[in-house]
A and B are shown apart, each in its own frame.
Chain A
């Protein structure tokens, strides 16, 4: 363990811990925009600068490992002035259209501007202006709001292993985009959306459906496959308007495109809500009891007449492991055949 002091407080953390993590461990707040605990430290936003005794310039706490006897100061008039300048610079190149922004109320940049009381900006100047171009149905990219924190780039590369986006161009014109600025054409897992600290990346389906107020967050399990990712449904007026996942879940907050964006079936008018039985060519609504009785009856008859091996069962990847286990058990023990397969094999 390494012993150091942060703002005069003794802190003891394992070797290799960064100053930022040590400070958070001691419940000392340090603002960041580009840091994500699961991604490689980046040191791009420069907000997490702290003073370390003996080093003549501020260091970024997210990239600097602790050392024995280190004396760290996380806040001082000088440090706060530097942080404010950085925020002023970011906001000088930002649309500042919080009134219509999807992310308002849940935006790290907005929150920091609030804490640092930035309204007038002495550093106003040219702002990047980009046309939106993506025609995919999942991810909305508004690059004017991008602050180049690089989290989306890192998560796509380090977590998803896809590398669909990176930073192009230099200096003020630097821009996160797919190769050759083509339309985004990836898996659309939306991991990038989940880590974006501003409104630069949002869900296409989320637009003008409701922000933070009046939203109920309901924890549940994704119904799409046997992985069983934990998801949070954002519900407004009894309608799911967004899906996210918390970082402290088994799936660590990561989701796939179906789990994150494929929720429109919930309120779809064509959604099946009861079993249907076809009678004389017409599908008719039935209760589960009626449907199951009907199936048991027909399976029994088929087995009696043609034998068990005339029946085959095909299960679904959308079922849980337990359900799939029960299904093969049913086919083998109850029906008496090994004719059982699974859609994931097809």
Chain B
């Protein structure tokens, strides 16, 4: 009996956290003990794959028998034996464990370029990447194309930086290629730090060779002889897979001296970031590689003219570089057929928050936001009402429900006061307080400010203090205007992108949810019922049955009342923890 069998177990960070390694072991063990491995020998492959998007369903397992793929979700080691018995041996998939219809809906509207091989190739085996035409683009470039021709293809494709600013990649490469210098550098910026963002992490964990290949092509185009991947130390799995991939690439002569038999020399080093968000800013990143404190410096000069060690340097984001091999292989026209007039191609987003299908998605630029939320994301968790999407992380803004039909591209998002950014997309529902959301992002930027320039160092602190007093019921009349005024001044005067964009979450929430700010300040109420200091709980006497459940759970002893008599809450003692609200079966407790 000759059966082709492929078992793919999701072992990205999400998959491993859900128990991917144990599931993998169980497959190995049972396939061997049941004699499957022995029977089909080389035609049976089992391997890890990186993230395929829908992390919420991990551990996801693909079983491919004779080219027919079945995907299982929520797999635990104990379920493996039955899958092998029924599916692998008897050819009947275990229907109750396979992914339901919405798994396919999640993928149907997506267009995968960067993620096209994530979830199918083995990130720890270069052969797996080579089998899907990996490094073909590199071969094509170094043997048949000049650097100028290569840059021409990238320019023509319309690829723009995926790190946030959206600068045309081809233009950046072209400027750097025209500089004359003894050394030039290319840096891959993998210092992804936005809260809730995991695009770059997943790409490196799922398909590290695509990033490396993109970097080598970039180096060839600009004439760089050395490259760095600046990656967060908090991404241990990505770092490990990247190291392994670099080693394998060197073995195959894709890196090192005389790449693929030509006289092109280039190698890549890994530099671990020490957990500073500001090091994602390119001049701070350069300072960090040079061994300095990670603080930005003024531009000009831009790194393409004077970057690492004072030499011309191109800095590209992970996703940008991972696009490159596909563009070379499939052509600029193919790539630019996706997207809008000014924003070409696709963009990877990390869809998180109050969304049913949270995970990693790749969509064509210009897709309506509504399709992302409702078709791909499956709508709001627990059928609550959609309130807003925060895009671009702490540098971005929110998009309220009346703008749900907006197209997701660089220009459209900017027109409503938000940004595409690096690709964070946090969905908020009616239970989220927008003042609190702004406060959350300000807490982040404030603690991540490097402290070099005054507006960012002290200004963000003052913004945060004003937000804190608003959410704690001490807001003053004029605070909204003060926030707006200070926010604008900080944007105008800060040294780097961190400070220049840090006030965006405030300005954008005030723009669309001014009434929530006003309710906090004048009525001392939080409409969403989130800000604890503004909440009060009361027992509605006419509904209360006097069961005593609330009294039992109250940690402060604030509730009193006789059995079968309406209870009352002493507001002075109440700590507003909400335990009574959760405990009451009769909805007799009012919150507001």
Q: Using CB atoms and an 8 Å cutoff, list the residues of chain A in contact with chain B.
A: 41-46, 49, 57-58, 60, 63-65, 81-82, 85-86, 89-90, 92-93, 122-123, 125-126, 147-148, 150, 166-167, 169-174
CA distance A150 to B462 in the complex (A): 22
Q: Is the pair A170, B450 in contact by a Cβ cutoff of 8 Å?
A: yes
* Nearest B residue (CB) for A174: B451
Q: Is the pair B459, A89 in contact by a Cβ cutoff of 8 Å?
A: yes
Complex interface: stretch among B68-76, B202-210, B441-449? B441-449
Q: Is the pair B486, A123 in contact by a Cβ cutoff of 8 Å?
A: yes
List the 6 closest A-B pairs by CB distance, nearest first. Answer: A174-B451, A63-B298, A171-B449, A43-B298, A89-B458, A85-B489
Q: Is the pair B493, A58 in contact by a Cβ cutoff of 8 Å?
A: yes
Contact residues in A for B456 (Cβ distance below 8 Å) = 171
**A86-B454, A125-B461, A148-B452 known; A172 vs B446 contact (CB < 8 Å):** yes
CA distance A87 to B334 in the complex (A): 53
Q: Is the pair B493, A171 in contact by a Cβ cutoff of 8 Å?
A: no
Q: Is the pair B449, A82 in contact by a Cβ cutoff of 8 Å?
A: no
Q: Is the pair B447, A170 in contact by a Cβ cutoff of 8 Å?
A: yes
Q: Is the pair A174, B453 in contact by a Cβ cutoff of 8 Å?
A: no
| CB-defined A-B contacts under 8 Å, sample of 15 | A57-B492, A58-B492, A60-B495, A63-B297, A86-B493, A89-B455, A89-B459, A92-B458, A93-B461, A126-B465, A148-B454, A167-B451, A169-B451, A170-B449, A172-B460
CA distance A158 to B472 in the complex (A): 47
Q: Is the pair A123, B462 in contact by a Cβ cutoff of 8 Å?
A: yes
Contact residues in A for B486 (Cβ distance below 8 Å) = 85, 123
Size band of the B side of the interface? 20 to 34
Q: Is the pair A44, B454 in contact by a Cβ cutoff of 8 Å?
A: yes
Q: Is the pair A92, B457 in contact by a Cβ cutoff of 8 Å?
A: no
Contact residues in B for A86 (Cβ distance below 8 Å) = 454-455, 489, 493
Q: Is the pair B492, A64 in contact by a Cβ cutoff of 8 Å?
A: no
CA distance A173 to B449 in the complex (A): 10
B276 within 8 Å of A (CB atoms): yes
CA distance A42 to B454 in the complex (A): 12
Contact residues in A for B552 (Cβ distance below 8 Å) = none
CA distance A140 to B452 in the complex (A): 23
* Nearest B residue (CB) for A172: B461
CA distance A90 to B493 in the complex (A): 14
* Nearest A residue (CB) for B446: A171
Query: Shortest Cβ distance from B323 into chain A, in angstroms?
Result: 29
CA distance A206 to B486 in the complex (A): 39
Contact residues in B for A57 (Cβ distance below 8 Å) = 492
Question: Which of A90, A123, A169, A170 gathers the greatest number of chain B CB atoms within 10 Å?
Answer: A170
B336 within 8 Å of A (CB atoms): no
Query: Shortest Cβ distance from B309 into chain A, in angstroms?
Result: 16
CA distance A113 to B508 in the complex (A): 32
Question: Which of A147, A150, A172 gathers the greatest number of chain B CB atoms within 10 Å?
Answer: A172
**A58-B492, A63-B298, A126-B465 known; A46 vs B453 contact (CB < 8 Å):** yes
* Nearest B residue (CB) for A171: B449
* Nearest A residue (CB) for B485: A85
CA distance A49 to B495 in the complex (A): 11
* Nearest B residue (CB) for A78: B492
* Nearest B residue (CB) for A91: B458
Q: Is the pair A174, B493 in contact by a Cβ cutoff of 8 Å?
A: no
Q: Is the pair B298, A148 in contact by a Cβ cutoff of 8 Å?
A: no
Residues of B contacting A: mostly? helix
B494 within 8 Å of A (CB atoms): yes
Contact residues in B for A167 (Cβ distance below 8 Å) = 293, 295, 451-452
Contact residues in A for B460 (Cβ distance below 8 Å) = 171-172
Q: Is the pair B495, A46 in contact by a Cβ cutoff of 8 Å?
A: yes
- Which chain B residues in 264-315 approach chain A with CB under 8 Å? 276, 278, 293, 295, 297-298, 300
Contact residues in B for A64 (Cβ distance below 8 Å) = 298, 300
Q: Is the pair B457, A171 in contact by a Cβ cutoff of 8 Å?
A: yes
Q: Is the pair A172, B451 in contact by a Cβ cutoff of 8 Å?
A: yes
Q: Is the pair B450, A82 in contact by a Cβ cutoff of 8 Å?
A: no
Q: Is the pair A46, B462 in contact by a Cβ cutoff of 8 Å?
A: no
B132 within 8 Å of A (CB atoms): no
Task: Please encode chain B, from 46 to 78, with 1 for each CB lying within 8 Å of some chain A CB and 0 for all others.
Answer: 000000000000000000000000000000000
Q: Is the pair A125, B465 in contact by a Cβ cutoff of 8 Å?
A: yes
Contact residues in B for A43 (Cβ distance below 8 Å) = 297-298, 453, 495
Query: Shortest Cβ distance from B439 into chain A, in angstroms?
Result: 15
Query: Shortest Cβ distance from A171 into chain B, in angstroms?
Result: 4
Query: Shortest Cβ distance from B494 into chain A, in angstroms?
Result: 7
Query: Shortest Cβ distance from B301 into chain A, in angstroms?
Result: 9
Contact residues in A for B492 (Cβ distance below 8 Å) = 57-58, 82
Q: Is the pair B489, A41 in contact by a Cβ cutoff of 8 Å?
A: no
Contact residues in A for B300 (Cβ distance below 8 Å) = 64-65
Contact residues in B for A122 (Cβ distance below 8 Å) = 482
- Other than the known A89-B462, A170-B278, what 8 A-B pairs have Cβ atoms closer than 8 Å? A46-B453, A46-B455, A89-B455, A90-B458, A92-B462, A125-B465, A126-B465, A167-B295
Task: Please encode chain B, from 452 to 486, with 1 for each CB lying within 8 Å of some chain A CB and 0 for all others.
Answer: 11111111111001000000000000000010001
Query: Shortest Cβ distance from A145 into chain B, in angstroms?
Result: 14
Q: Is the pair B448, A171 in contact by a Cβ cutoff of 8 Å?
A: yes
CA distance A64 to B300 in the complex (A): 7
* Nearest B residue (CB) for A59: B298
Q: Is the pair A126, B461 in contact by a Cβ cutoff of 8 Å?
A: yes
Which listed residue (B278, B452, B482) contacts A150, Cβ 8 A?
B452
CA distance A45 to B446 in the complex (A): 17
* Nearest A residue (CB) for B465: A125
CA distance A81 to B485 in the complex (A): 11
Q: Is the pair B457, A174 in contact by a Cβ cutoff of 8 Å?
A: yes
* Nearest B residue (CB) for A40: B297
CA distance A333 to B451 in the complex (A): 64
Contact residues in A for B293 (Cβ distance below 8 Å) = 166-167
Q: Is the pair A41, B452 in contact by a Cβ cutoff of 8 Å?
A: no
* Nearest B residue (CB) for A150: B452
Contact residues in B for A81 (Cβ distance below 8 Å) = 489
**A167-B293, A170-B276, A171-B446 known; A93 vs B453 contact (CB < 8 Å):** no
* Nearest B residue (CB) for A123: B462
Query: Shortest Cβ distance from B477 into chain A, in angstroms?
Result: 13
Q: Is the pair B450, A174 in contact by a Cβ cutoff of 8 Å?
A: yes
Query: Shortest Cβ distance from B499 into chain A, in angstroms?
Result: 9
CA distance A172 to B455 in the complex (A): 10
Q: Is the pair A45, B447 in contact by a Cβ cutoff of 8 Å?
A: no
CA distance A58 to B500 in the complex (A): 12
Query: Shortest Cβ distance from B341 into chain A, in angstroms?
Result: 23
Query: Shortest Cβ distance from B108 into chain A, in angstroms?
Result: 42
Q: Is the pair A82, B493 in contact by a Cβ cutoff of 8 Å?
A: yes
Contact residues in B for A92 (Cβ distance below 8 Å) = 458, 462
Q: Is the pair B489, A82 in contact by a Cβ cutoff of 8 Å?
A: yes
CA distance A65 to B465 in the complex (A): 37
CA distance A49 to B293 in the complex (A): 24
* Nearest A residue (CB) for B292: A166
Contact residues in A for B452 (Cβ distance below 8 Å) = 42, 44, 148, 150, 167, 174
* Nearest B residue (CB) for A149: B454
CA distance A45 to B452 in the complex (A): 8
Contact residues in A for B449 (Cβ distance below 8 Å) = 170-172
* Nearest B residue (CB) for A33: B454
CA distance A169 to B451 in the complex (A): 8
Which listed residue (A45, A90, A148) contacts B451, Cβ 8 A?
A148
Q: Is the pair B458, A60 in contact by a Cβ cutoff of 8 Å?
A: no
Q: Is the pair B451, A46 in contact by a Cβ cutoff of 8 Å?
A: no
Query: Shortest Cβ distance from B394 into chain A, in angstroms?
Result: 13
**A126-B465, A167-B293 known; A44 vs B495 contact (CB < 8 Å):** yes
